[in-house]
Amino acid sequence: MDEEKNFSAENNNPPYNSETPPQPVQTPVYNPFMYEPIGISDFDKAAVEAMKAAEERKEKIKRMRRERGIFFLVIFIFVIAALLAVYGIVSDIRKGNIENIIPNEHIVLYQNSKPEGANDLSNFIDENGKYTTEGAAAAVKPSIVEIYTYGDSVKNELHGTGSGVVLSKDGYIVTNAHVLQADGYHTVHTVDGKVLNASIVGRDSKTDIAVIKVNSSELTPAVLGDSDEVIVGEQVIAIGNPAGLSSSVTDGIVSAVSRKIRSDSTGFEMECIQTNAAISPGNSGGALVNMYGQVIGITSSKYVSSSYEGLGFAITINAVKPIIEELIDKGYMSGRFRIGITLTGMDSEEQISAIESALGFELPKDFSGVYIVDISDDCDIAKTELKKGDFITKIDGKPIKNYNELYDAISGKYKAGDTVPATCAHVTKDKQVKYYDIEFKLMEDTSGNF
């Protein structure tokens, strides 16, 4: 016993106990390469994560409250500022201090006039009588009139407008035939504002030229030039009334001379001057003028290319002059003939389809001719075997398939009163073609419609 005491005292250790001594609390050891501590139980992990999530929720709620407070503070400040601004404006208006809101700035606009006499016509012409563009326009505009065509005598039904060129002081005016209506009513508006009733003296649809007359002795006639003297490249102006815009002037150059151009409505060929001066439908019947103030052509939309920009034509004044003279003398163009048929050509698939639709069946392949839509009872051709729905395939042995080929075949050899041989055809539903020959007399046309 004493030995045991001594042993304990010397070693300063508690006496040996055969039972297992209590274990000290194990401190978690962290691995720097892992998120979770080593030595913590799953239960402790869940508790830690729950505490962490709770803290994050609290922090989020606090942040949302702060942001909401800032938002409402900004809105409040904005509303207060707006109210103060409105109050200030209303207060200034009531006190008459509107100039404090809209400052009264003085803007200086600089404007000056041309020198005295700058617009005198004498300034736009040289010693040789050649005008500038301004001079030519000023010299010729009084001779260009605007023509209105109506369908009734009280002039409520406006059918169209166009232009005209004054030929004489006593009221003769040249224009395009398509501007007028054969049984219509027409008025002329002069550049000085006068409105005059007009009557048709004569018209020729083939050339698209017509002459009208008004009762006046105070018109300014245009000076006609010589279109044979026109050269390529010389400057020209076109004067007319496009879209009802009176006395409009466009300028350009002569692009080509002696062009043989067919009218897109009648197919009749006329000698024309080609120009890049703009020519639109309202210019029809207007003037193409050189820089000497001379009319060298009559503009017509029927001779204007719709496929290309900057490509216009005017019928040469030398070609127009004899037509004017004969229309004034006789009221019509002598030598004009009419066959007495209305036809459709077979130039395109669209035309062929229209013919087949009218017949109710398809035509044989490689068949061609002109389809007879109607026949006038007052013409000699109505006495022949030819019927509506048949075809004319040849004139005097020459194959034809459109109006131009028909007209060329006749006009090159025959005149009014002559008898013309023709080959015709009747096509059946089963595509059988029966050919037969006829002869018909050409009728003289004095109406100007053909």
DSSP structure string for 111-180? --PPPTTTT-GGGGB-TTS-B-HHHHHHHHGGGEEEEEEESSTTS-SEEEEEEEEE--TTSEEEE-GGGS
Active-site annotation holder among 178, 255, 280, 300: 178
Active-site annotation holder among 204, 208, 390, 445: 208
Please name which of 284, 281, 234, 271 lies closest in space to residue 254, comparing C-alpha atoms.
234
Reply yes or no on whether 226 is catalytic: no
Q: Supply 438's token pair.
A: 């006829």
Q: Give the span between the Cα atoms of 143 and 293, in whole angstroms.
A: 11
* Helix (H) or strand (E) segment spanning residue 335: none
Reply yes or no on whether 445 is catalytic: no
Spatial neighbors of 316 by CB under 8 A, at least 6 apart, are 227, 230, 258, 270, 271, 272, 273, 296, 297
Active-site annotation holder among 143, 284, 300, 301: 284
Q: Give the span between the Cα atoms of 167 and 324, in whole angstroms.
A: 10
C-beta separation of 383 from 389 below 8 A: no
Reply yes or no on whether 192 is catalytic: no
DSSP structure string for 82-107? HHHHHHHHHHHHHTT-GGGTS----P
**Residues known to be catalytic:** 178, 208, 284
